[in-house]
Chains A and B, each alone.
Chain A
């Protein structure tokens, strides 16, 4: 049967019109739907400072960059999991099923992230890990993207710095738990590969350690440096013993990762922290214009609280989300969002960062810093750096 030309033309035009409408309509239809981000953090319990810093940073990002992205209104839903994995998982499930969040973020510790990973995979929801620092986290789900750092990434550079600076004999002192053992493993491997000698590897108990006898043992070992990794609150005890037993006077250097001179408590740690040399991805004293503005805005919005490395994890995590949404035109599709995050590169308050498309980990500059006093406060001042450090892997 022959169709009349007009019918064909009409059909063609209407199809064209329909396609044009279809192309134009979705963004407009989605624009009404807010972008819900489920931010799960430990706001109570022993890791409350992590939660506090990250929440403040996320809110700061929204305040500075507006609460709309790709035509969608950003809704930040903050929930406290008090550091308990079963609670984190339950909250994640509730956020996905009830609130229908498009993105999950936060995760103050490795077990919390590991517990939620299967949920993210099943629901196809992206998980932006802003705090947990163990390498294996990103391997547990293709939807996990990390915005902070990994412990091996931060540890290897201090070993290299030590090798370059005439430090031949080192004693390692770590707390006997997962992160401590990871730090020890990475440091020992790099240091010995480069020709250094590990005089001894000491492990302190996780609970209630008395560092006096350990530090005494280090003194008797007479190393060039002591590498330390202990949970945040214990660092000061180590440093005090270090000073009291006269190790600094004996020429022993105290080195470690930036965790032990956390900006959140560094100022309160005071004099015993002076001279400690660490490698890390962020110092509140990083002398870039972006960071200066960041620190100023952060302190202003939070009663003079100094931002630490956890906060940049939060700030950059929000950046990842915003950028991914811009690039996907405000998508809710988990796979598309993760794809958009891969390979993203920008200048963060910490310095330049790129998300490695293969591992979804941040590739960034690791700085070597020394604790010094400036303007009456204690800061980790950067004096050397290694660019484009990747995560060495689990």
Chain B
């Protein structure tokens, strides 16, 4: 595949035109659209640690929830400006990410699995206990958002929410893309492929993992804040295990380790869920499980992996 550059391919540019076109073609589905983009951002953050650093986490929703509550509380108690809310949320989530990263980068896969799972469950219980702050199971309502830039209010039509989410997603994506194609990102790939050998060439494995985990936590926090701001509500389920599990599925569906896989996976998952849930709700879980099993057995790279093998098959060797 060669060393990655920072150039944007034509396919990428075409990809980013899609949500812009969708804004005009699907004016009635804008709320679904913004929720898809929030999920995509969330999946992007998981890709950094799971796709690039190979850390298996079943508790990533913890950071999503922290970001959501941070932004929600800020808005509820007086400061409803959206952009600063994002910054505060990212900082809060990244801080917790940093503090817990020490547990996660030690030990092996099973340990990490258990620790991330456990931290997620602990945080859920803590949020439930602190109901006087978070609203507990009833959720945090009364989140009043001020207008974006003083002009664009978050209204029923979902237009502002859509554009806002898209802009944030794009900006963070550019950041992530730059990161993984930088020397830092390359060393991550090195760790992914041969962890034991990296210290021999002077790479501090642990420090890099802590860094990427913290960044990923911050991004997840931004995604959570976006949800809180665009729906003006924070439910306890923001932190719950089902959200973490669905996230892993989204990422694997699209293909981990490519950044775009996270976006594609999130979009496909959310659309399928919305569509199938209205057809036959009870069977959704069954087919999802079956899909997972099939992906692992036959299509490890997810949708993007399938796409790549199709490309190879038909000899598309354009870079």
**Contact between chains at A86 and B235 (CB < 8 Å):** yes
- Say yes or no: is A119 at the interface (Cβ < 8 Å to chain B): yes
Q: Are B277 and A82 in contact (CB under 8 A)?
A: yes
User: Taking the nearest CB of chain A, how far is it from the CB of B79, in angstroms?
Assistant: 19
> Which B110-141 residues have C-beta < 8 A from chain A?
121, 125, 128-129, 131, 135-139, 141
Q: Which residue of B lies closest to A177 (CB)?
A: B137
In chain A between 195 and 213, which residues have their CB closer than 8 angstroms to a CB of chain B?
Answer: 205-207
What total of chain B residues lie within 8 Å of the partner, measured CB to CB?
33
Among B135, B158, B237, B281, point to the contact of A44 (Cβ < 8 A): B281
**Inter-subunit contact B137/A178 (CB<8 Å):** yes
B32 and A90: CB pair below 8 A? yes
A117 interfacial by beta-carbon distance below 8 Å: yes
Chain B, residue nearest A207 (CB): B125
Partner of A114, one of B128, B131, B138, B285: B138
Given A79-B278, A176-B129: A111 touches B236 (CB 8 Å cut-off): yes
Which of B51-59, B185-193, B226-234, B248-256 is the interface stretch? B226-234
B128 touching A97, Cβ below 8 Å: no
Question: How many residues of chain A are within 8 Å of chain B by beta carbon?
Answer: 38
Interchain CB contact (< 8 A) of B156 among A122, A136, A181: A122
Given contacts A82-B277, A110-B138, is CB(A97)–CB(B282) below 8 Å? no
* Chain B 267-285 residues near chain A, CB threshold 8 A: 277-278, 281-282, 284-285
State the CA gap A134–B31 with chains docked (Å).
28
Q: Determine whether the beta carbon of B231 is less than 8 Å from that of A94.
A: no
Evaluate whether A119 and B156 lie within 8 angstroms (CB atoms) in the complex, with A114-B139, A178-B131, A178-B137 already known: yes
Q: Write out the residue numbers on chain A whose beta carbons fall within 8 Å of the beta carbon of B237.
A: 83-85
Contact of B231 among A86, A109, A123, A206 (CB under 8 A): A86
> B233, A89: Cβ atoms under 8 Å?
yes
Given contacts A97-B157, A177-B128, whether A80 and B277 have CB atoms under 8 Å apart is yes
Most chain B CB within 10 A, of A118, A136, A176, A207, is at A118
* B28 beta carbon closer than 8 Å to chain A: yes
- Shortest distance between the CB of A263 and any CB in chain B (Å): 22
Of chain A, the residue at the smallest CB distance from B31 is A90
B137–A115 CB distance below 8 A:
no
B35 interface contact, C-beta 8 A? yes
Most chain B CB atoms below 10 A, which of A44, A48, A109:
A44
B228 nearest CB across to chain A (Å): 9
Least CB distance, B122 to chain A, in whole angstroms: 11
Report the separation of the CA atoms of residues A111 and B136 in the bound assembly, to the nearest whole angstrom: 9
Also in contact, A86 and B137, with CB within 8 A (given A80-B277, A96-B156): no
Which B residues form the contact surface with A (CB < 8 A)?
28-29, 31-32, 35, 121, 125, 128-129, 131, 135-139, 141, 155-158, 227, 231-233, 235-237, 277-278, 281-282, 284-285
| A-B contact sample (11 more), CB < 8 A, given A97-B157, A122-B156 | A44-B281, A48-B282, A84-B237, A86-B35, A86-B227, A90-B231, A111-B141, A115-B232, A176-B129, A178-B131, A207-B121
Closest 4 CB pairs of A and B: A111-B139, A44-B281, A85-B235, A115-B233
Could you show 17 A-B contacts with beta carbons less than 8 Å apart?
A: A80-B281, A82-B281, A86-B35, A86-B231, A86-B233, A90-B32, A110-B139, A111-B141, A114-B139, A114-B141, A122-B156, A123-B156, A140-B141, A177-B131, A178-B131, A206-B128, A207-B121
A residues with a Cβ closer than 8 A to B are 43-44, 48, 79-80, 82-86, 89-90, 93-94, 96-98, 109-111, 114-115, 117-119, 122-123, 134, 136, 140, 176-179, 181, 205-207
